[in-house]
Amino acid sequence: MVKYIFVTGGVLSSLGKGVASASIGTLLEARGYRITLQKFDPYLNVDPGTLTPYQHGEVFVTKDGAETDLDLGHYERFTTLTLGKINNTTAGQVYHDIIEKERRGDFLGRTIQVVPHITDEIKRRIKRARQGKVEIVITEIGGTVGDIESLPFLEAIRQFRRDVNPEDTCCIHLTYVPYIRAAAELKTKPTQHSVERLREIGIQPDIIICRTERPISAEAREKISLYCNVSPEAVVEALDTSCIYSIPLVFHQERLDTVILKRLRMRPRPSRLAKWEKLVNIMQQPKAEVEIAMVGKYVRLQDSYKSLDEALYHAGIPSRVCVKIRKVDSEALEKEEDLAKHLNGVAGILVPGGFGVRGVEGMISAIRYARENRIPCFGICLGLQIAVVEFARNVCGWKDAHSTEFNPQTAHPVIAILPSQKDVKNLGGTMRLGGYPCVLTAKSISRRAYGKNRINERHRHRFEVNPEFLPEIRKKGLLTAGLSPDRRLVEIVELKDHPFFVATQFHPEFQSRLSSPHPLLAAFISACLKYKETIT
Ligand code: GLN
């Protein structure tokens, strides 16, 4: 018998519904249950792949090559799951499928309506996640209750609870309980209103998680319980925290997992959270700190490199260091004196992935600065491409070297479009996406860090190192430390004469988890720590 948990949000957005859902996943896995997580996004884009990071933050890439909402990143980082295409549904996909069926004539002349056609498709997708031996499906609904867009999803949940035994479902509503300074009081009214909205739609939540700045008094809890019609133990406090990985522990203390299992009539197996707790402790009590500069174009946005930020924090765990990230806008690095100013004192420099020419020259300068000053350096995707361009320009002496993404006319196109990309017209879902194998070169930093020859990492790009220029580039000291098994595509480059200079065409950050930091990023942080000791 499969059980279903639905997570909705009220009052306002950005309350951390994704992390809350992921934390519920951590807790139920710690209880020995096989779970899965999925996200429903009410917007009409078919996937977030074509969206600018300014709108919904990073695009998370799954192993099977789907471009998904960044919450799937939290789900993977908080659990043992490897998710895929089926774990992220957008309203765009739902409508797309239904309209395609209508055009094919599958509906035999009937009128196509939101209820039942769209809602049926949503219900089908809720169940679709139940693959293998999954015992509990956790479905998070994006957006906030009251949004026009999320109505079909909420209606589908209402119907779903009616279709199955309601006791096999648990609705968890995340709200905000603001503290009003003038009144010196926590206010429960917004929570009451948002639960009222849910009830109008026909959904009575079973549990209310209250995001708050201040501890919730017994009185406020009682009030929420009474007005929202849930038992007092089902009002769960979620106090602001500086470490998102402590949230499962906070929820556990609040007995959230016990309440969920009781509601679902599941056995409260013993909870095994000791390992998680140990990792959180290491993060909260580090022995040292290293600061690295992340030089990119979207650095001012909090969520645009979410997985990378998190992966860097994880990467500090093996060395027991706290990683501080100095976000440097690459457009500010175009002049020589700006480099020393903005990169002063950092223990490492990292250039992440990106698209478009804005800020590229600043990234090239930052990489040159790291190479010449022997500062540990890591490039990811565009970062690798930039590292190759910098090397071609300043070591090989090809002053006009560039990627054809930015200068199609250059005589030295050291980065060029992938052959598989030449005839691509549609922008959505057409890059080289998802997990691909890579073979590591003996005696490279990468080979040592991974401790094996063959790896599989996730990609999201259209351009690649142009093999035409490789013999010369290799001769001048750039090592191709990772190649595709057919040896055609360069996956990792390293500088031979440098303490730590590694760049990857893939995105290591998508496979990092709190419980298994990425080996190559961990090696980078360890090199940064060593470097820091030499400069202080
Ligand atoms: N714009 C580059 C490409 O498409 C890099 C992409 C990335 O960094 N994810 O190849």
pLDDT digits (tens, 9 = 90+) for 345-391: 999 999 999 998 989 999 999 999 999 999 999 999 999 999 999 99
pLDDT exceeds 80 at position 323: yes
Q: If you measure from the C-alpha of residue 329 to the centroid of ligand 1, how many angstroms do you get, rounded to a whole number? A: 18
Q: Which of the four pLDDT bands, split at 50, 70 and 90, describes residue 422?
A: confident
Q: In this predicted structure, what is the pLDDT of residue 46?
A: 87
Catalytic residue among 56, 322, 509, 528: 509
pLDDT exceeds 90 at position 329: yes
The residue contributing the CA closest to ligand 1 atom 5 is 382
Q: What is the mean pLDDT of residues 465-484?
A: 96
- Compute the 3-state secondary structure of the chain and give helix, strand, coil in percent, each to the nearest 5: 40, 25, 35
Domain 286-535 has CATH 3.40.50.880: yes
Q: In this predicted structure, what is the pLDDT of residue 110?
A: 92
pLDDT exceeds 90 at position 56: no
pLDDT in tens, 289-320: 999 999 998 777 778 899 999 999 999 999 99
pLDDT in tens, 498-516: 999 999 999 999 999 999 9
Question: Is ligand 1 within 6 A of the CB of residue 417?
Answer: no
pLDDT in tens, 204-228: 999 999 999 999 999 999 999 999 9
Helices (H) and strands (E) in the chain, counts: 18, 23
pLDDT exceeds 90 at position 419: no
The residue contributing the CA closest to ligand 1 atom 3 is 461
Question: Is ligand 1 within 6 A of the CB of residue 415?
Answer: no
Higher model confidence: residue 251 or residue 1?
Answer: 251
Annotated catalytic residue 155? no
Catalytic residue among 173, 402, 507, 518: 507
Q: If you measure from the C-alpha of residue 337 to the centroid of ligand 1, how many angstroms do you get, rounded to a whole number? A: 28
pLDDT exceeds 90 at position 39: yes
For a pocket test of ligand 1, which of 304, 460, 504, 506 has the largest count of ligand atoms closer than 8 A to its C-beta?
Answer: 460
pLDDT exceeds 80 at position 53: no
Contact 376, 348 (CB under 8 A): yes
* CA gap 143, 397 in Å, rounded: 52
pLDDT exceeds 90 at position 337: no
Q: In this predicted structure, what is the pLDDT of residue 368?
A: 96
Question: Is ligand 1 within 6 A of the CB of residue 462?
Answer: yes
Q: What is the mean pLDDT of residues 16-36?
A: 97
Q: Find where tokens 């600043």 sit.
A: 362
Q: In this predicted structure, what is the pLDDT of residue 5?
A: 98
Q: What is the mean pLDDT of residues 179-195?
A: 93
Q: Find where tokens 């807790």 sit.
A: 27
Q: What is the mean pLDDT of residues 132-160?
A: 95
Question: Is ligand 1 within 6 A of the CB of residue 404?
Answer: no
Annotated catalytic residue 509? yes
Ligand 1 atom having least distance to the Cα of 507: 9
Question: Is ligand 1 within 6 A of the CB of residue 406?
Answer: no
The residue contributing the CA closest to ligand 1 atom 7 is 353
* CA gap 269, 29 in Å, rounded: 10
Residue 343 has, within 13 A of its CA and on its CB side, a CA count of: 30
For a pocket test of ligand 1, which of 461, 490, 504, 510 has the largest count of ligand atoms closer than 8 A to its C-beta?
Answer: 461
Question: Is ligand 1 within 6 A of the CB of residue 463?
Answer: yes
Q: Three-state SS string across 63-83, please?
A: CCCCEECCHHHHHHHHCCCCC
Q: What is the mean pLDDT of residues 406-424?
A: 88
Catalytic residue among 210, 322, 377, 381: 381
Domain ranges of the chain: 6-277, 286-535
Q: Which of the four pLDDT bands, split at 50, 70 and 90, describes residue 17?
A: very high
Q: If you measure from the C-alpha of residue 361 to the centroid of ligand 1, how many angstroms do you get, rounded to a whole number? A: 15
Residue 521's SS3 state is helix
pTM, two decimals, is: 0.94
Q: If you measure from the C-alpha of residue 460 to the centroid of ligand 1, how many angstroms do you get, rounded to a whole number? A: 7
Average pLDDT, the chain: 94
pLDDT exceeds 80 at position 138: yes
Question: Is ligand 1 within 6 A of the CB of residue 354?
Answer: yes
* CA gap 453, 209 in Å, rounded: 46
Q: Which of the four pLDDT bands, split at 50, 70 and 90, describes residue 398?
A: very high
Question: Is ligand 1 within 6 A of the CB of residue 457?
Answer: no
pLDDT exceeds 90 at position 335: no
pLDDT in tens, 59-106: 999 999 999 999 999 999 999 999 999 999 999 999 999 999 999 999
Round the CA-based radius of gyration of the chain to a whole number and report it.
25
Q: In this predicted structure, what is the pLDDT of residue 367?
A: 97
Question: Is ligand 1 within 6 A of the CB of residue 405?
Answer: yes
Q: If you measure from the C-alpha of residue 354 to the centroid of ligand 1, how many angstroms do you get, rounded to a whole number? A: 6
Q: What does each C-alpha distance from 101 to 94, 96, 97, 108, 301 come to in angstroms?
A: 11, 9, 6, 10, 39
Q: In this predicted structure, what is the pLDDT of residue 155?
A: 97
Q: If you measure from the C-alpha of residue 190 to the centroid of ligand 1, how many angstroms do you get, rounded to a whole number? A: 43
The residue contributing the CA closest to ligand 1 atom 6 is 461
Question: CATH top-level class for 6-277?
Answer: alpha beta
**What is the percentage of the chain residues whose pLDDT exceeds 90?**
86
Q: Which of the four pLDDT bands, split at 50, 70 and 90, describes residue 11?
A: confident
Contact 254, 232 (CB under 8 A): no
Annotated catalytic residue 243? no
Contacts of 448 (CB under 8 A, 6+ apart): 523
Question: Is ligand 1 within 6 A of the CB of residue 353?
Answer: yes
**What is the percentage of the chain residues whose pLDDT exceeds 70?**
100
Q: Find where tokens 């079973």 sit.
A: 206
Q: If you measure from the C-alpha of residue 52 to the centroid of ligand 1, how many angstroms do you get, rounded to a whole number? A: 14
